[in-house]
Structure 1
Amino acid sequence: MPAIEPARRSPDSTDVEALHRLVLQSLDDDQAVDTISIPLAGKSSIADYMVIASGRSTRQVASMAQKLSERIKGETGRPARIEGLPNADWVLIDGGDVIVHLFRPEVRSFYNLERMWSFGDAPAPVVAPN
């Protein structure tokens, strides 16, 4: 079985910020709960941002993931990689510069990624854009 390649990263910081805004806006539009963004630039080479959010049900998590993936491809022309969609308890969307974790609340609480990736700084909740 061939290895899954990670999504491509952009060398342009303007593109990174635009993708980050797109992700946050998409999650806000789809009524994600408790969205946080953790800056990873200079701390990890996997991405510049990690966004974590919850959906109220597996159906909402799956819907948010599919819409976000479509929006990323439409905006950047690059497909986002998705893992975990069939069960939709925890869905990972690899947008290259922005990694998104979508959870059902119980699963999010169990894994507590915010704590693992906070680097000693508690991530602040992201205020939804208007």
Structure 2
Amino acid sequence: MNFAYNFFSIIFIFVLILLERAFASLWSETGRMSDMQQWRLLCSRYQVAQAYMEDVNARVTIFAPVNDVFLYNPDLRAMDQKEVLSHIVDTQVPELSSGRRWKKQTLIRSTINSGYVYIF
């Protein structure tokens, strides 16, 4: 009986280790990628963004400032922010997840950090 208990205890611990690796959060995954350290540092400044990335059940979300995005793409310039984000989610996110690359990206200028953000 003691052998069976020890055996199942070891199996249980092994399963827990596998589940922990299978349900890694986006936060822990970005910690492993050297080219994502600047993004990780930026997200760590905002509690909501970091908490979202630490949630293993969170869905893909695009964080964007409200009424503070300026587009340089003429096709998207006439859209409001909700339409632009819907366009990005409906077209570009699925294509990005399938590994597609583009010569040109959607260029978004945010006045919050005065920098450029490229959404592929």
| Structure-2-length-normalised TM-score | 0.22
Query: Which one has the bigger helix percentage?
Result: 2
Larger radius of gyration: 2
